[in-house]
């Protein structure tokens, strides 16, 4: 699902109020961390992740990994990445 401009704008406004939940550090984006992000997105649909200075993965590599695993990259600002994955089974889901 590719997000259009209005949808991304709404998700960015929602993401302003949330704090980063996950940090990608010296281990890089491991399979366990990616699974935790997927699990969190299944319950919340929107998450903010930060990339620490010690992360060996390049930012473009991280974004590509997220996209390949079915997660939409809404925005990147500095070291923060906002991710979204729709879950139609959620009771309180984000309406785009």
Query: Residue 19 is part of a domain; what is its CATH number?
Result: 3.30.110.60
Does residue 1 carry a pLDDT above 70? no
**Per the structure block, which two tokens stand in for 15?**
């993401």
Q: Could you tell me if 45 and 87 are in contact, meaning their C-beta atoms sit under 8 angstroms apart?
A: yes
Does residue 68 carry a pLDDT above 70? yes
**Per the structure block, which two tokens stand in for 33?**
């961390």
> How many domains, the chain?
1
Task: Give residue 33's domain range.
Answer: 5-84
Residue 94 lies in a domain: no
Residue 89 lies in a domain: no
Percent of the chain with pLDDT over 90: 81
Does residue 63 carry a pLDDT above 90? yes
**Per the structure block, which two tokens stand in for 1?**
């699902």
Confidence (pTM): 0.91
């Amino acid at each position: 699902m590719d997000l259009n401009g209005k949808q991304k704008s709404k998700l960015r406004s929602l993401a302003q109020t949330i704090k980063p939940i996950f940090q990608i550090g010296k281990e890089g984006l491991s399979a366990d961390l990616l699974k935790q992000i997927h699990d969190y997105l299944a319950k919340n649909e929107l998450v903010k992740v930060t990339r620490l200075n010690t992360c060996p993965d390049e930012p473009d590599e991280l974004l590509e990994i997220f996209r390949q695993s079915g997660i939409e990259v809404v925005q990147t600002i500095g070291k923060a990445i906002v991710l979204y994955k729709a879950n139609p089974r959620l009771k309180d889901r984000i309406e785009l």
